[in-house]
Amino acid sequence: MANHLILKKTDFFASATQPVAVADRYPQNVFAEHTHDFCELVLVWRGNGLHILNDRPYRITCGDLFYIRAEDRHSYESVNDLVLHNIIYCPERLKLNVDWRDLLQSAGASGKDPRWRLSSHGMAQARQLIGQLEHESVKSDALSLCLTESLFLQLCILLRRHRYQPHETGAPDSGETLDLLLATLGNSFHAPFDLQHFCQQNKVVDRYLRQLFRQQTGMSISQYLRQLRICQAQDLLRHSEMLIGDIATRCGFEDSNYFSVVFTKETGMTPRMWRQRYAIET
């Protein structure tokens, strides 16, 4: 395994007792692969980028949520006006009698998609809580430390209540059309996506939705869906022995030649070259 950065508590926490800190990324730049000796929550507010987590690529945009364990390896590539918050915390410094493992670590359980999405309603509430947490967490007196942990607990509960997995058909409180669209796109790898039908079904104007989507994500709807499919293909090429034609079909490309053209344009190498670069470990 290639060497990677290890981010240290001493560089990010004001004291040895501070349990939680807020690191805003306005914007988040390209960042090489790294681990930490602390854990973090990553919540994306705007723009897009490529998040590589434990060798798997994820195209991320507004509403994406990750629970990052200390041992996880991750990096950011191909960023485009990517705005996010890192809520960093030290589990051993949390003092409240709470099942933190259930609230936080279960999200990264084996077999689970490590990426979650947060509904627009949840994001609005989280933004307010994070603002309070950012203000309080820099103080070092006993009451402030207690309040910091209390605000962090509220944030974790809020995220748990309003999150959903990208492959689910809709958000739990999906009153917002953008939530519904992003959830639908996240479940549209295998079949063509019909935007006109989606707009008719949800009584929204096509042009308005396209503008809203680009404003929040920095991409068109078709670009975002193509990026999702390419990320899925990258993962399958690297971690499976499926034929390239079968991968193309699995990722929503009816023609394997067209898939190769799109993949090469997006990644700078052909699917075969990508597979050879990341030969499957036996």
Surface-to-core class of residue 59, CB atoms within 10 Å of its CB (0-12 exposed, 13-18 middle, 19+ buried): buried
Tell me the H-state helices in the chain.
Answer: 100-103, 120-137, 142-162, 177-185, 195-202, 206-217, 221-239, 244-250, 256-267, 271-277
Alpha-carbon gap, residue 109 to 102, rounded angstroms = 10
Q: Give the count of beta carbons closer than 10 Å to the beta carbon of residue 70.
A: 15
- Domain spanning 5-164: CATH superfamily: Regulatory protein AraC (2.60.120.280)
Identify any residues that bridge with 44 across adjacent strands, giving them in sequence order: 84
Alpha-carbon gap, residue 178 to 80, rounded angstroms = 19
| Mean of the per-residue pLDDT values of the chain | 88
pLDDT of residue 129: 96
The mean per-residue pLDDT over the stretch 4-26 comes to 90
CA 86 to chain centre: 12
Domain 5-164 and domain 175-282, same fold? Reply is no
Over residues 59-112, the pLDDT tens digits come to 999 999 999 999 999 999 988 889 999 999 999 999 999 999 888 865 555 556
Least confident of 145-159, 171-185, 217-231, 250-264: 171-185
What is the value of pTM for the model shown?
0.87
The mean per-residue pLDDT over the stretch 147-165 comes to 94
Residues belonging to the chain: 282
Q: Hey, where are the domains in the chain?
A: 5-164, 175-282
Share of the chain above pLDDT 90, in %: 65
Judge whether 66 and 116 are in contact, CB under 8 Å.
yes
- Domain spanning 175-282: CATH superfamily: Homeodomain-like (1.10.10.60)
3-state secondary structure of 133: helix
The mean per-residue pLDDT over the stretch 192-206 comes to 91
1 — pLDDT class (breaks 50, 70, 90): very low
What 95-102 contacts at long range (C-beta under 8 Å, 24+ apart), as own/partner pairs, is: 95/19, 95/146, 95/149, 96/149, 96/150, 96/153, 98/153, 100/156
Structure tokens at 276: 């050879």
- Whether the pLDDT of residue 114 is over 70: the answer is yes
pLDDT of residue 282: 38
